[in-house]
Amino acid sequence: MAYGFQVLIDALSLGSFYALAALGIGLLFGVLRLINFAHGDFITIGAYALIVPSAATQATLLIGGFHPLFLIPSIVGIVIVVALISEFAVFRPLRNASPATLMIGSFALGYIMQNLVIMIFGGRPKAVGLWSDLNLGVQIIEGVQVPQLQLIIISVTLALMVLLVVFLKRTKYGVHMRAAAEDFRMARMLGVQANRVIMLAVAISGMLASAVSLLFVVQTGILDFRMGVPLMLFAFIATVIGGMGSLVGAVVGGFTVGAVSILLQTFLPSELRVFRDVFVFAFVILVLVLRPQGLVVSRSAKERV
Amino acid sequence: MLLEVDNLHAHYGRLTALRGVSLTVAEGEIASIVGPNGAGKSTTLLSISSVLTPTTGTITFAGKTINGLSPEAVAALGVSQVPEGRHIFATLSVEENLLVGAAIRKDTAAITKDRERVFELFPILAERRKQSAGKLSGGEQQMLAIGRALMTNPRFMTIDEPSLGLAPRIVDRVYDVLLELRASRGLTLLIVEQSSERALRSADKIYVLRNGEIQLSGAASDLRDGEAVHAAYFGFSEGQEGKVDF
């Protein structure tokens, strides 16, 4: 029972990372039809923004040393600015390009950002201790200790999802964004400002990335210029098996991939555990064979009569 | 003239869609473009809304050249479109669809008032206001598309094949509403139809478009017997035998 509970919390917290990253990818896919492979690098930049920019092997906290009330908005702001710069410098000039061109553009952008990180911070991983106390365990029910951080990750993710839903359902610009995601041309013919909607989606996507930056750094305590890449990859897989173009699908996919990873981690025989990702990807292929349209079919992706 | 389209040419890749289309619509007028499939009717309307960029030619609205503007800028000037296939936001509720129609407007009181007017015009939409628009029937979707276009508070509205796929009774209702809108608020309309009979009955002015060219134009009252329209529509030359019912 206690063991099962621990596995559940592990699955939910890993799934949270994937779901948050998948939402960031899904939002941009909705309005831009762009699969943003640089999303993981937004996460990386948010993490590196915590320390003094230098190639020294020892990381010195800069923004990371501030009070959380200042630290969190700073990191969120920095990632949003980076995301908006990407929009102006890369995505907007490619606005009328094919989705494949856009995707390759985002790959290039990702590589540029990784190399900028190497140039400024050096290529070696660095240890950072940000709010490491949060990794201490807390007892939630009799006999079950889980790191406080996991509960924070899950709550932050839930809170951000609720906020996103409220924004999309209850605000004017949220409704415009949903309309644009479904039929961009029609939304524009009704006067919805294309660039404004896209910039808003890019900014929200950056905000979601920065949340992953912070939570992930606290959990791992390590900065690496490739740290965002596996997160992006799993989040991308999450959006695909969840159903491209559906935000609910992105969340469902994120938690599914997280749960499958943790279950395999827990129940695979130890000699196979190192190959866990092979099994994760086998599961992904299985889902795609059985449900090529994804777990949640986006109504906007369906053919309409 | 409220709308002047002058010598419009348009291409899709190597395919020529329009070869020098010119037309005018005066304030308060109902003009209609009729023509067979592939004549360039939708291309003309999409060019007016600036969704498509014509190769050459100018489009002037209320004295201002509008081609080259963004679609949202054209909408902000008071040009609204009900496109072919209606393009309802299926995942949004009826109310939300109408809200998107008010995207360019700030005055919430006026927006709410206009929404109530749309609901008066189409009571069925009021009943279904919370429902997702994808669940509406074809006729209801057409009403929603018109209602949504009205929410932009347009001076000029283009409608692409309002009768497509609808039962005759619903089509009558749609046309009643369009005529009423012209009468009550002086809305200027440009309606595209495949059937010329409906157009001849409701429009003031008819343009027959075929192969990307205007074949015939004139006051609907002068064309009422339909012979000339038939000939232009099918491309029969003068005096050639051609009896086709449509």
d(CA B244, CA B246): 6
A254-273 mean pLDDT: 92
d(CA A273, CA A93): 45
Of A185, A190, A300, the CB nearest to B100: A190
Residue B226 confidence class, pLDDT cut points 50, 70, 90: confident
In this predicted structure, the answer to whether residue A298 has a pLDDT above a threshold of 70 is no
pLDDT value of position A85: 97
Residue with tokens 């932050």: A156
In this predicted structure, the answer to whether residue B144 has a pLDDT above a threshold of 50 is yes
Residue-wise pLDDT for B60-85, tens only, equals: 999 999 989 999 999 999 999 999 99
- Tokens at B78, concatenated: 């008071």
The alpha helices in B30-167, defined as continuous H runs, are: 41-48, 71-76, 94-101, 108-121, 123-127, 138-150
Of B75, B91, B100, the CB nearest to A176: B100
Instruction: Say if the Cβ atoms of B100 and A187 lie within 8 Å.
Output: yes
Residues A248 and A78: beta-carbon distance below 8 Å: no
A140-169 mean pLDDT: 91
Give the contacts of B11 (CB within 8 A, at least 6 positions apart).
B17, B55
Bridge partner residues of B160 (DSSP): B192
A190-200 mean pLDDT: 95
Residue A245 confidence class, pLDDT cut points 50, 70, 90: confident
Q: Which residue has the higher pLDDT, B110 or A302?
A: B110
Domain that holds residue A214: 2-226
d(CA A146, CA A126): 26
pLDDT value of position A190: 96
d(CA A231, CA B159): 47
CATH architecture of B3-234: 3-Layer(aba) Sandwich (3.40)
The alpha helices in chain B, defined as continuous H runs, are: 41-48, 71-76, 94-101, 108-121, 123-127, 138-150, 168-185, 196-202, 227-234
pTM: 0.89
Residues B144 and B113: beta-carbon distance below 8 Å: no
Name the strands in the sheet holding B56-61, side by side, starting at the edge strand that comes first in the sequence. B15-25, B3-12, B56-61, B64-65
Residue-wise pLDDT for B11-55, tens only, equals: 988 889 999 999 999 999 999 999 988 899 999 999 999 999 999
Q: Which residues of A touch B151 (CB under 8 A)?
A: 190
Give the contacts of B15 (CB within 8 A, at least 6 positions apart).
none
Min distance A242 CA to chain B CA atoms (Å): 17
Give the contacts of B133 (CB within 8 A, at least 6 positions apart).
B88, B89, B90, B91, B92, B93, B94, B96, B97, B141, B144
Answer positive or negative: Cα dihedral of A9, A12, A15, A19: negative
**CB-count exposure of residue A67 (10 Å: 0-12, 13-18, 19+):** exposed
Instruction: Say if the Cβ atoms of B99 and A172 lie within 8 Å.
Output: yes
Strands A126-127 and A222-223: antiparallel
Instruction: Say if the Cβ atoms of B70 and A188 lie within 8 Å.
Output: yes
pLDDT value of position B245: 47
Complex prediction ipTM: 0.91
| End-to-end Cα spacing for chain A | 51
- Tokens at B172, concatenated: 């009558």
d(CA A227, CA B98): 44
Closest CA to A111 of A260, A255, A228, A276: A228
Closest CA to B3 of B101, B78, B73: B78
pLDDT value of position A304: 35
Task: Return the biggest CA–CA distance within chain A.
Answer: 61
Judged by DSSP in three states, B17 sits in: strand
For the beta carbon of residue A303, count every other beta carbon within 10 angstroms: 4
Instruction: Say if the Cβ atoms of A186 and B87 lie within 8 Å.
Output: yes
CB within 8 Å of chain B, chain A residues 173-192 = 175-176, 178-179, 182-183, 185-192
Instruction: Say if the Cβ atoms of B100 and A194 lie within 8 Å.
Output: no
Instruction: Say if the Cβ atoms of A175 and B91 lie within 8 Å.
Output: no
Instruction: Say if the Cβ atoms of A186 and B92 lie within 8 Å.
Output: no
Instruction: Say if the Cβ atoms of A182 and B51 lie within 8 Å.
Output: no
- Tokens at B51, concatenated: 């969704």
Min distance B104 CA to chain A CA atoms (Å): 5
Residue-wise pLDDT for A42-90, tens only, equals: 999 999 999 999 888 888 889 888 999 999 999 999 999 999 999 999 9
In a domain, A242, yes or no: no
pLDDT value of position B246: 47
Instruction: Say if the Cβ atoms of A189 and B80 lie within 8 Å.
Output: yes
Q: Which residues of A touch B99 (CB under 8 A)?
A: 172, 175
Q: What is the mean pLDDT of chain A?
A: 91
Residues B142 and B177: beta-carbon distance below 8 Å: no
For the beta carbon of residue B225, count every other beta carbon within 10 angstroms: 9
B136-146 mean pLDDT: 94
In a domain, A299, yes or no: no
Q: Which residue has the higher pLDDT, B245 or A209?
A: A209
Task: Give the number of domains in chain A.
Answer: 1
In a domain, A246, yes or no: no
Name the residue type at position B220. A
Is the CB of A165 inside 8 Å of chain B's CB atoms? Answer: no
A3-18 mean pLDDT: 91
Pick from A189, A197, A247 the residue to mutate for testing the B interface (most B CBs within 10 Å): A189
User: What is the count of residue pairs from A and B with beta carbons less than 8 Å apart?
Assistant: 75
Of A172, A182, A188, the CB nearest to B72: A188
**Angle (nearest 5°) at CA A50 between A45 and A51:** 105
A264-287 mean pLDDT: 90
Residues A300 and A245: beta-carbon distance below 8 Å: yes
pLDDT value of position B26: 96
Q: What is the mean pLDDT of chain B?
A: 90
d(CA B65, CA B85): 28
B109-135 mean pLDDT: 95
Answer positive or negative: Cα dihedral of A188, A194, A196, A197: positive
- Measured in whole angstroms, the distance separating CA A121 from the mean position of its chain's CA atoms is 23
**CB-count exposure of residue B95 (10 Å: 0-12, 13-18, 19+):** middle
Residue B237 confidence class, pLDDT cut points 50, 70, 90: low
**CB-count exposure of residue A133 (10 Å: 0-12, 13-18, 19+):** exposed
In a domain, A231, yes or no: no
